[in-house]
Amino acid sequence: MVVHVVQGAAYGFAAAVQPGPFQAYLISQTLRRGWRRSLPIVLAPLVSDGPIILLTLFALSHVPPWWVQALRFLGGLYILYLAAGAWRSCRISGKRDLGAQSGGRSVFQAAFVNLLNPSAYLYWGLVTGPLLISGWRENPANGVGFLVGFYVAVVASLAGILLTFAYAGQRGDKLNRWLQGASGIALAGFGLYQLALGVWGWRP
């Protein structure tokens, strides 16, 4: 079981630090609202990944190609919406938006970002899903250990990213605004990329 916990932790760390829409959203919210109000966002994968795991393990190999492309297109639109919010916050002020969403709402919005991110489905369908099934078939405790290691690493790594950018954002108003703008540009890039995948069916 220990081997599966370590294996899960390694894959969890890799998933958390890989640049993507969720990470860009996490950074954007941290710079806008501060680390204390944004910290609950690191728990969003615990909310979103249950349905993702079930869907990928059960249905990914049976759905038509257009389903994945439609998901990419919808995800791209939503990420562009989030990018507009980050950029608007940067233009208005470098100060944190203390009147923004509650922590709970931010968690579910971040979970929605993850649900609309095809990379999460592909990651579970092609990489971690087979490992989870293999461990579970050997012994259910191995499957549970893999999941525990994976999500402990994910949450810890996301918290590290959040605190790193929170510290950077506190170095000055100008730097904070620049980082907010950069996170908005990153979100816009991910959104446009997913729209392109949805429209033209490109492959990463």
Its pTM stands at 0.67
Does residue 79 have a pLDDT over 70?
no
Lowest-pLDDT choice from 33-37, 68-72, 118-122, 129-133: 68-72
What are 96-119's pLDDT values in tens digits?
A: 444 444 545 678 888 888 787 777
Q: What is the DSSP string of 13-82?
A: HHHHHS--HHHHHHHHHHHHH-HHHHGGGGGHHHHHHHHHHHHHHHHTTTS-HHHHHHHHHHHHHHHHHH
